[in-house]
Amino acid sequence: MRRRLGVAARIAQDRFADVSRALHTLSLTARPTSGAAYGGQALIDGVLMRGPSHIGVALRAVDGSIAVTSEPIATGPIRRRLTRIPVLRGAVVLWETLALGSRWLLRSADVSAGDEERTNSGTGSLVATLAVTLLIAVAFFNVLPAIAAAAIVRAIGSAELLLERAIDGLLQVAILLGYLAAVGRSSDVDRTYRYHGAEHRAIHALENGDALTRNALSRWPTAHPRCGTEFLVVVILVSIVSFSLIGRLDPIPTVISRIAGIPLVAGIAYEILRLLGRYRTNMIARALAAPGIAVQRITTRKPDDGMHDIAIVALTAVIEAEGGVVPSGSERPASRALQPVTVR
């Protein structure tokens, strides 16, 4: 239990810090013959692939087999209305995808530990865990840099708000990169970064019309220009501008504003990336994507063939769940159905 929660908590914080793997609509996409768009994220010894209305999940069980499942994404009339409202839809997608990703991170931790049929503690426990993790991540990656930047500006005797916000942004980047590099030294997180690379390679192959095979995947890089790590760059820029407009605040109001401002900053960043997505060949859009590619040198690593198999199985599962067609000549690694869990 301690290992399961510890690993899942570290990776959940990574998912928030590297929002790219959480925001499926900002993740890399591919369009096979069905016209559906797909994105994904790495799990613990597994991969989750997401389409417009379904997900496919493949996990490496302790006996070495590949356990696979797919499920529809819950939608409703209220959710559909909210996702039509600019800015607000970004916050909705952020929370929804973090919740989905965190649920499967915890599930993958169970399977990795040999507890495939573990009883699920229910939605309330997941929401509480996610909320606490989100608050810790915001405090560490957003609030702490803001307070430190204010202290640095006071120490040098400056009153320039723009300087304070620039230092704030630089500290956010430094803390994030340091965190990602540090946790990557853990063998568990290192494997997750390698599964992240396998996920990217599978999407590369699919969107370029290759068959989903080990050999085809190995030819592609582990980084992808449409991985949403560029979301981080946009979030930091939006944060600098947004909180500069608010002005200088005392420590407690700063903490409150940073936490309360998450939906607004995420929503604005989401809209900016939707706009940039229409102009991928534009020089400005390519420049904004470049830092995301650089960060992926930390968050993606070279996978082995077994990890390629996991990515292929997960992507195949969601393509078929969406009614799409898997590219001709694709491999079909041996897999079995993932054992269902009961909800307490």
Residue 196 belongs to domain spanning: 2-337
Closest CA to 184 of 299, 15, 12: 299
Among 6-10, 228-232, 299-303, the minimum mean pLDDT is found in 6-10
Which alpha helices (H) appear in 83-184, and where do they start and end? 88-112, 123-138, 144-155, 161-183
DSSP 178-240: HHHHHHTTSHHHHHHHHHHHHHHHHHHHHHTT----HHHHHTS-S--TTSTTHHHHHHHHHHH
- pLDDT level of residue 223 (50, 70, 90 thresholds): confident
Helix 262-276 to helix 88-112 angle (10° resolution) is 100
pTM of structure? 0.81
Q: Answer yes or no: is 333 within a domain.
A: yes
Q: How high does pLDDT run on average in the chain? A: 81
Asked if the model's pLDDT at residue 314 lies above 50, the reply is: yes
Distance CA 326, CA 212 (A): 8
Q: Answer yes or no: is 22 within a domain.
A: yes
Domain count, the chain: 1
Q: Answer yes or no: is 343 within a domain.
A: no
The sign of the torsion formed by the CA atoms of 301, 305, 307, 311 equals positive
- Looking at residue 224, its pLDDT comes to 79
Q: Answer yes or no: is 344 within a domain.
A: no
- Looking at residue 225, its pLDDT comes to 67
| Mean local confidence (pLDDT), 296-313 | 94
Distance CA 251, CA 242 (A): 17
pLDDT tens digit sequence for 202-214:
999 998 999 999 9
| Mean local confidence (pLDDT), 173-198 | 89
Q: Answer yes or no: is 187 within a domain.
A: yes
pLDDT tens digit sequence for 110-157:
898 888 776 555 566 666 766 777 778 778 888 889 889 989 999 999
Q: Answer yes or no: is 342 within a domain.
A: no
* Highest mean pLDDT, choosing among 167-171, 202-206, 290-294: 202-206
Whole-Å CA distances, 321 to 168, 203, 274: 44, 17, 26
- Looking at residue 296, its pLDDT comes to 84
For 223, phi then psi, to 5°, come to -90, 155
User: Tokens standing for 143?
Assistant: 């609030």
Closest CA to 217 of 129, 331, 113, 135: 331
- Looking at residue 229, its pLDDT comes to 65
* The 66-72 sheet, strands edge to edge: 39-43, 46-50, 54-60, 66-72, 336-337
